[in-house]
Amino acid sequence: MELTFDWVGFQEVFQPRRAPVAPTLNRHSPIRIIVEGQVVREVFCEGDDLSGWIGQSLEQLQAGVRGREFVVLDREAVDQAISRAFEVGHFHQQLDLLRGASLKQAPEIRLHGPEHFWVEALKGNWSKILPSSYALFFRFEGATAGQERDFIVVVRRGELAAFHRPDLSFLSAERKKNPADLVKYLSDKYLVPVQGFFLSEALWNQVSTSDRPWRDLAQAVRKNEVRLHPWRWSVAALLGVRGLKNS
């Protein structure tokens, strides 16, 4: 069965595992707290064990942990944000709502790291430039032949409408290898224009974890390490411009 939202596949492609933060490097991370009245209900800071403060007063915590930035959220508002998030379609939208609620409560909050550069672009300005509905098809080639991994993201009005490993079982082995045939088949199946990206798994991982992903991606397109099918000048130009901005 083809899942509409294949979260495992999505995580593999767009959420590469990152290295843990060492406690000593974490001094500047804000301490995030959920309070009920003035009582600390939850406290979290990556790499620090602050669970001993749960149940204490916020004042005590702030006095006990000096020299750190605090982001304080209200429990009732958190509960409401979670309840509202459950009303929308899938986890990705739910996360957006939760992040939005955090920002509303604590505008000083810094949302760092969770979004992949590509997903951020799809949900951001690209929706103003690209058609209202389209799909991006990724083929990640492994070290040896036959180790390809495919993934498709369907975008409608700037929202991720579906993401999963496409079912290509109706295609012959020959057609599966032919980028033009693949893209045409997917375009007919999903009834949206499809842009294919063919690149190696290693390159994708490198770009995904890079500090300047757009620049690296644009360079890879120029070197033909990332192949676009069909070749669309508009898409290549978009990547180039993002690459320039990012360098």
Taking CB under 8 A as the rule, which mask of x and - marks residues 25-44 in contact with another protein? ----xx-x-x-x----xx-x
Which residue in the set 79, 177, 188, 209 belongs to the binding site for another protein (CB under 8 A)? 79
**Least distance (Å) between residue 95 CB and another protein:** 6
Asked if 224 is part of the footprint of another protein (rule: CB under 8 A), the reply reads no
Separation between Cα atoms, residue 67 and residue 212, nearest integer Å: 31
Q: 100 to each of 93, 95, 96, 108, how far by Cα in Å?
A: 11, 8, 6, 12
In the block, residue with structure tokens 């959920």: 34
When asked if residue 147 is in the footprint of another protein (CB under 8 A), the reply is: no
Question: Which of 20, 9, 52 is closest to 160 using CA atoms?
Answer: 9
Pick one of 8, 25, 180, 237: the residue that binds another protein (CB under 8 A). 8
Chain position carrying tokens 């390490």: 225
The correct pick among 65, 72, 98, 192 for binding another protein (CB under 8 A) is: 98
Residue 91 touches another protein, criterion: CB under 8 A = yes
**Which candidate, 14, 35, 160, 144, places its Cα nearest to that of 91?**
160
- Rounded to a whole number of angstroms, the minimum distance from the CB of residue 216 to another protein is 21
Is 99 near another protein (CB under 8 A)? Answer: yes
